[in-house]
Structure formats: structure tokens, C-alpha cells
Amino acid sequence: MSEKKNSSYISGKESRKITKFNRRITKKLEKERMDANKDPALYTTRMADENNIVEFDNVCTYFFSDVGVVKAVDGVNFVVPRHTTVGIVGESGCGKSVTSLSLMQLLQRPTGQTVGGEIRFNKGDGTAFNIVNTPNSIMETIRGNKISMIFQEPMTALNPVFRIGQQINEVIELHNPEMSEEDVKARTLEMLEMVGIANKEGVYRMYPHELSGGMRQRICIAIALACSPTLIIADEPTTALDVTIQAQILDLLQNLKDKLNSSIMLITHDLGVVAGMADYVVVMYAGRVIEKGTADEIFHHPCHPYTIGLMRSKPVVGQKVEALYNIPGSVPNPVAMPDYCYFRDRCEMQCDRCKGEYPPEIRLSDTHIVSCYRHYDEGQVLGYPKSVNVEDL
């Protein structure tokens, strides 16, 4: 009986009901996806602003799990302008990786589904792909070629049984089938040189375990940049490295981005990394964007209590403190999110309005947008994040 009182307890009957519901919904969504894939009109769209590389427009990505629907990304809106670095920050589990996996269409399907919104990727010819409906055959030409990803752990990202050269060659060959073997090898060596590997001929023949962590991450960067992508997604690229190597890798990424005219979506926990690299910052909390703006606005004028808490919880060089600030409480249960502000129960700056529904986006400047009732009267109210009711699917 005591177990039943616990909200996370699921009876056998409920579990069967969830499984049946998940099977029905995911089958329907997969069928809709197949139908949308057949007609190019359904996955071709236009950018709201031609200067952006990617536009996330009310994107909702849900996981139909055994314990219920996890709204991992729920009504996310932000853009990546051309030739810029956009930092995405937020605590573990807030949906940063799921946002980037939705863009690459690398979600664990059929459990994970983008059920609402548009992800527009600029083709550069005045039109755009709506990634949500784009068929896999076209995604294969985008992934690794136009959008590429650098993962957190370079040892697991590389295949331990293949030589470094083979792994870079494979990417180049796949996207440039017309290239001769010698040209592919020359391009691989050029990439190794570009990422700062001195002994490129030697490293070409080595296996991943023969390299240090920093060198392996350089190889991952070489693989990601081999086809000169227009967008690089770096998901925690330096978390596994020590501070000095971190700085080198970040410098390298920034230089290569400028050289290739690409944009970077930089996902990280580390506010120091974002401060040093990003032009724009998006702060996520429990699957939603709660504040976004230029790096200067977010670092020097944070407005959302969560962003303010994040800033207070980072150490400042040269300043001695007794203890770092700790944001109280924890994130709500992802399968049963409240219908009011998700941060309210942890917030030390609540106002009367916070008792109401989830706060809308409020524009404080051209670039600075915050979802918090404390600023309701200070800016232009834009609209509420659009969640999808799974019962309606």
C-alpha cells in the first residue's frame, strides 16, 4: 500500500495501459513520417531569416517510455545565425543533447519522436529542409557533410579496431564517392595537419588507444570537419579533457570555424567555456528555453532566477568565497511536469504572477528573451511555449 502512495509507483495494469498507448502512438507517428517523406513539399520550407543556419521553432521531442511520456524538449525556440557560435547551457537532463539529436535525426526511434514544431536547416539556395520530416536518404547527405557532431568522449566516439587514417578516409569517401584513393588520403593528411597533429603520417597508421585524450579529440574534430560542414555541433567537446588541453581544443575549434565559415552549436555545462567562445547563449531548463541572448547579456545582465543562480554558482578567479552558491531543490519529475513555471518550486524570487500558468517569452531587447513573470511589465510579451497534448496525436 505504501508503495502505491509513492507517485512513481506504477501498477501492472497502468504499465500495460502505457505500453498499449505507446505502441499505438509510435506506430501512427512512424506511418505519418513515412507519408511525409514521400512528398518533397512536406519537408521543404523557407527560413524565417536567411541569415540563420538553423531555426528551432517550437520543437517538441518526446520519449514514449515505459513509465510515461518524457517531454525531453518541449516547445524550444532559438536560432543559430551564420558564422556564429551559439552556446547551449543548462543542468544535466535539461534536453541539450536531445535538441541536437533531433536536429541530426539521431533519436532513438520509435521511442523518441519529434512530435511538434519545425527544425529548419538552410540549404543556402533560398529554401530550407524541415528536418522533422526529411527522409533518411536525404539526412544521410546532410549528416557528416553539412552538419557534423563532435561528441563528449573521444575514446568511445572512435572505433578501437580501425586505424585513425581509415576512420577519417571513410567519412571523406562516403560523401565524395568520385574522389580517388590518393586524393582521399591526401585530404586526410591535410585534415590531420589542420587539427595540429605534427606526426601526421605516423598518426595516420595508429590506433585510437595509442593516442592521448587531447589527440583523440583532435581526431574527432578532423572527422567532423573533413567535409567542411556549415554547422558543427559540439556536445561537451572538452568535458573529458584537462584544463590546458581544453583551452587548446577550444582555440582550435574557433579557428577552424572561421577558416571553414561554419557555425558552432556548443553544448556544455561549463559556463567558462561558453563565456570564452559563444556569441549567443541559450539557457535551457527542464526541456524548455528559459533565457537567451548575446553572451554579454546572459553573463552581465542575467534575468531569469535560474540563470542568476548559475552565475552565482560558478567560481570567480581571484575571489575567495566560503562556499559556492547552490540552487536549492531539484528538477521536477519529467513524466509529470507542473502546469506552472517549472522553476517555481526552487525559485527564491517568486512574485504573485508565478502562481499562474507557465510564463510566456518576454522580449527585453532585440536579442534578449526571458521566460519569467518578474519581467512581465518590462518588455514585449511574445507567446507561450507550445506543448503537444499526446492524447491528441
Cα(272)–Cα(304) distance, integer angstroms? 19
DSSP 357: S
- Three-state secondary structure call for residue 151: coil
Least distance to Mg ion, CB of residue 97, Å: 3
Residue 72 as a binder of ligand ATP (CB under 6 A): the answer is: yes
Q: Which residues contact residue 250 at a Cβ distance below 8 angstroms, ignoring those fewer than 6 apart? A: 237, 238, 273, 276, 277
Residue 71 as a binder of ligand ATP (CB under 6 A): the answer is: no
Least distance to ligand ATP, CB of residue 370, Å: 20
Q: How many CB atoms lie within 10 A of CB 94?
A: 26
Least distance to ligand ATP, CB of residue 67, Å: 9
The nearer residue to ligand ATP, 93 or 276, going by C-beta atoms, is 93
Least distance to ligand ATP, CB of residue 10, Å: 15
Interface characters, 240-269, with ligand ATP (x: CB under 6 A): -----------------------------x
* Binder among 94, 256, 274, 310 for ligand ATP (CB under 6 A): 94
* H/E run at residue 283: strand 280-285
DSSP 354: G
135 binds, among Mg ion, ligand ATP, none (CB under 5 to 8 A by kind): none
Cα(33)–Cα(66) distance, integer angstroms? 22
Cα(174)–Cα(105) distance, integer angstroms? 19
Cα(342)–Cα(164) distance, integer angstroms? 45
Q: How far is CA 96 from CA 120, 237, 279, 287, 375, in A?
A: 18, 13, 18, 8, 25
Interacting span for Mg ion (CB under 5 A) from 95-103, 270-278, 286-294, 297-305: 95-103
Cα(131)–Cα(133) distance, integer angstroms? 5
* Binder among 52, 77, 97, 102 for Mg ion (CB under 5 A): 97
Site for Mg ion in 310-369 (CB under 5 A): none
The nearer residue to Mg ion, 231 or 233, going by C-beta atoms, is 233
Interacting span for ligand ATP (CB under 6 A) from 108-116, 143-151, 244-252, 362-370: 108-116
Interface characters, 275-314, with ligand ATP (x: CB under 6 A): ----------------------------------------
Q: Length of the chain in residues, anyone?
A: 393
Residue 334 as a binder of ligand ATP (CB under 6 A): the answer is: yes
Residue 108 as a binder of ligand ATP (CB under 6 A): the answer is: yes
Residue 99 as a binder of Mg ion (CB under 5 A): the answer is: no
Q: Total residues contacting ligand ATP (rule CB under 6 A)? A: 17
Cα(73)–Cα(57) distance, integer angstroms? 12
Least distance to ligand ATP, CB of residue 106, Å: 11
Residue 7 as a binder of ligand ATP (CB under 6 A): the answer is: no
Interacting span for ligand ATP (CB under 6 A) from 104-112, 224-232, 347-355, 379-387: 104-112
The nearer residue to ligand ATP, 184 or 282, going by C-beta atoms, is 282
Q: How far is CA 237 from CA 151, 199, 306, in A?
A: 6, 23, 24
Residue 98 as a binder of ligand ATP (CB under 6 A): the answer is: yes
* H/E run at residue 25: helix 12-38
44 binds, among Mg ion, ligand ATP, none (CB under 5 to 8 A by kind): none
Q: Are 74 and 332 in contact (CB under 8 A)?
A: no
Q: Which residue has the cell 519537408?
A: 43
- Three-state secondary structure call for residue 97: helix
Task: Transcribe 320-350 into DSSP letters.
Answer: --SS-----S-PPPTTS--SS-TTGGG-SS-
The nearer residue to ligand ATP, 71 or 374, going by C-beta atoms, is 71
The site for ligand ATP (CB under 6 A) is made up of 63, 65, 70, 72, 90, 92-98, 108, 111-112, 269, 334
